[in-house]
Amino acid sequence: MQIFPRSLNLLPLVLGGAATFGGVGLIGAIWYYFSPSHLQVGYAPEQPVPYSHRLHAGELGMDCRYCHSSVERGAKANIPPTQTCMGCHSVVWPESARLAPVRESWESGESIPWVKAHVLPDHAYFNHSVHLSAGVGCASCHGRIDQMEVVRVEEPIAMQWCLECHRDPGPNLRPPSEITNMEWEPDAEWLASMDEHVAAVNPPQHCSGCHR
């Protein structure tokens, strides 16, 4: 006496097929949605002091290098020390409650625990000074910082995104004198000499360029 119908013989095949297609779909979803463009872009960490780039870099027109003073000479764009903040705020809004952590840092000598928004993995090497000297502007990687109340990640800081620029750096190049000018747009003369600028930069596309 047969208890189960013969059609159940197909059950292992159906389950195997469903598991295969389901696994492929799951891998595809993870590959797509768990990428930097979805996990990094838009990240805007809360800071211990409500610093507005829109006010300082935008309305007041402060140059990026006033605070990030080592960006043209070193690999990292330094976070400004409290001394830089107090250079202005010992006079401007010296009693503001929002700036209490700055005054406490100044009095105690302990650094303000700023939270990094743009974080590279340890296996990736990036040098700010090299890119700026080549003519890559701040806005190419960080977006219009001068319009941000709270700094957020604008671009997916990932290998594919970096390689796209290294393969075609032209759209991101500008005169070195304009690297911090958020409103700079290329004119006809610059576009006409683009091939020369690209040839002078010649960014690496091999592995050791970023993985050392």
The proportion of the chain whose per-residue pLDDT surpasses 70, expressed as a percent, equals 92
**pLDDT given at position 115:** 93
pTM of the model: 0.78
Residue 87: alpha-carbon gap to chain centroid = 28
User: What are the helix and strand counts (H, E) for the chain?
Assistant: 11, 0
Establish how many alpha carbons lie within 13 A of residue 96's alpha carbon, considering only the half-sphere containing its beta carbon.
Answer: 15
**pLDDT given at position 36:** 57
- By C-alpha distance, which of 74, 75, 102 is closest to 89? 102
Q: Which residue has the tokens 């960490």?
A: 45
- By C-alpha distance, which of 195, 210, 115, 194 is closest to 161? 210
Name the more confident of 31 and 108: 108
Residue 132's contacts (CB-CB under 8 Å, 6 or more residues apart) are 71, 72, 176, 179
pLDDT per position as a tens digit, 40-89: 788 999 999 999 999 999 999 999 999 999 999 999 999 999 999 999 99
- The answer, yes or no, to whether residue 33 has pLDDT greater than 60, is no
What values do phi and psi take at 173, rounded to 5? -95, 150
pLDDT per position as a tens digit, 120-165: 888 999 999 999 999 999 999 999 999 999 999 999 888 999 999 9
Residue 135's contacts (CB-CB under 8 Å, 6 or more residues apart) are 173, 174, 175, 176, 179, 197, 201
Four-point Cα dihedral 194, 197, 198, 203, nearest 10? -160
- Structure tokens given for 124: 């990736």
**pLDDT given at position 28:** 66
Give domain limits for the chain.
11-38, 44-79+118-209, 81-113
Rounded CA-CA distance 14/96 in Å is: 68
CB atoms within 10 A of CB 179: 24
Residue 144 DSSP symbol:
-
- The answer, yes or no, to whether residue 30 has pLDDT greater than 70, is no
Mean residue pLDDT across the chain: 89
**pLDDT given at position 12:** 76
**pLDDT given at position 1:** 58
- The answer, yes or no, to whether residue 119 has pLDDT greater than 90, is no
